[in-house]
Amino acid sequence: FIKNLRKKLIDFLSLIEFELDFSEENYNIINYLEFKKLLDNIIKKLKDLIKSFKIGNALKNGISVSIIGCPNVGKSTLFNKLLKYERSIVSNMAGTTRNYIEDSLIINGIKYRFIDTAGLNNKTKNYIEKLGIKKTYSNIKKSDIILYVFDNFNKK
């Protein structure tokens, strides 16, 4: 796959160089339809490569799942239930989870990396809690799946 892609890229670059060398002489040496077809083929192969990397990376390192939500909605409780042991501290005090906690679980032969995150509390004045929230947003960007936890019983 890589050798084939490399060959196509070399062919593409050769055509560009060839065209540049003779561009001043007003010759139409390159068949632009073939040139576009080659370029489209290279783009497709690069997209396939990126897709296969993402799949391979998920199989090797696991699918990352960030558990997010407001403070005290049950993120850590859900995290512990999924893992079937108490990995995260759970309390009635908002802001207990200040840093993310990560652990893996295999479900139907697929590895998942669950990440218990700090609660999304944009009104906090606490510097440490703000750092935890910043890490939550960072985890959101890196995760394959976002699991947003809501508390329907304690609406404010």
Q: Is the pLDDT of residue 55 over 80?
A: no
Residue 99 has pLDDT above 90, yes or no: no
Residues in the chain: 156
Contacts of 49 (CB under 8 A, 6+ apart): 1, 2, 5
Q: What type of residue is 13?
A: L
Max Cα separation, the chain? 79
2-44 pLDDT, tens digit each: 677 777 778 777 777 776 666 666 666 666 777 788 888 888 8
CA 73, 107, 99, 90: dihedral to nearest 10 degrees? 40
Tokens of 25: 């002489």
pTM: 0.63
Mean pLDDT over 133-156 rounds to 87
Describe the strand order of the beta sheet including 110-116 as a list of residue ranges.
Answer: 101-107, 110-116, 63-68, 145-148
Q: Which two tokens stand for residue 58?
A: 């998920």
Using the predicted structure, report yes or no on whether residue 156 has a pLDDT greater than 60.
Answer: no
Q: What pLDDT shows up at residue 79?
A: 94
